[in-house]
Amino acid sequence: MSVYQAIILGVVQGLTEFFPVSSSGHLILVPWLFHWTFFLNHPALNKTFDVALHVGTFVGAAAYFRSDIARYLRSWVSSIRSRAVSTTDERLAWLLILASVPGALAGALGEDVVEKHLGHPWLIGLWLAVFGILLLVVDRRSRREREVTDLRTADAVWMGLAQAVALSPGVSRSGVTITAARARGLTREAAVRFSFLMSLPIIGGAGIYKGLKLLKNGLPPGSATPFAWGMLASAVTGFLAVSATIRFVKRRPMDAFVVYRVAAALAIFGFIWSGFRPAGG
């Protein structure tokens, strides 16, 4: 693995984790498209590097939402101490936890299925198109009247189940949870903000759990520098992507992301049908 490859993948991870275009899909597609044999021939190391990039993204997003995280943590602790849910922040803190449960369970139970059966480029292309069009339809038809403070238990469960679906590369965690939130009548900004916040426990928890395994086994020789640069790139671009997306949806619909998803899907199928790249990676 070279430093420039690590930086490119770090930038890709940081941007696509929060742009609704699927980070897991892009981390598979980029080495596949450019035929980076190191990543294609070392799946175990590739998986380890993926964990490192997600940790970097978590750091970037947590830095952006640092005040929100601190406020909800204080409210959660206060709620536990009083054994009651008395304020809006306390309710939202519990809803963020509730929304994370389906995705966490799906990730723990379905990790092997994803690695063995759901990472094929043709399937990623299919999900990019299908869930992109679904995002467009729902975004256009949403009532756009509810804010984050209007969220209820049913909303958190609905978005949590949607996040579990995003286990398959190409679906996009942010894309499908924003779609679910819009279907429940949240404004674009509210949908994006809660989607990003509810992803942090999943990203952070998975990063810590897998990172402990990584520390136990140690990094492969010579990989420390690329890992460090990749994590830095994913942290910086993750921070910028969160900020850019929230600003973007205040003024514009999701059309640009949908156009990109469909164009990327067509390009993937074009590469496959032309024989330029294999369908299975």
pLDDT digits over 206-216, tens only?
A: 777 766 766 66
Q: Which residues of the chain are modeled with pLDDT < 70?
A: 38-46, 110-111, 115, 210-211, 213-222, 280-281
pLDDT of residue 71: 93
pLDDT of residue 44: 64
Contact 139/254 with Cβ under 8 angstroms? yes
Q: Which of 17, 2, 6 is nearest to 237 (CA)?
A: 17
pTM above 0.75, yes or no: yes
Q: pLDDT digits over 47-81, tens only?
A: 778 888 888 999 999 999 999 999 999 999 999 99
pLDDT of residue 217: 65
DSSP state of 203: H
Distances (CA, A) of 79 to 67, 93, 233: 18, 9, 37
pLDDT of residue 176: 94
Percent of the chain topping pLDDT 90: 51
Q: Which of 188, 174, 125, 228 is nearest to 15 (CA)?
A: 174
pLDDT of residue 117: 72
pLDDT of residue 276: 85
Bridge partners (DSSP) listed for residue 146 = 186
pLDDT of residue 221: 66
Q: Which tokens sit at 127?
A: 């999900």
Q: Which tokens sit at 264?
A: 């990327």
pLDDT of residue 39: 61
Residues 6+ apart with CB under 8 A from 98: 153, 156, 157, 160
pLDDT of residue 105: 84
| Burial profile 98-128: b = 16 or more Cβ within 10 angstroms, e = fewer | bbbbbbbebbeeeeeeeeeebbbbbbbbbbb
Q: Which of 14, 17, 67 is nearest to 177 (CA)?
A: 17
Contact 193/207 with Cβ under 8 angstroms? no
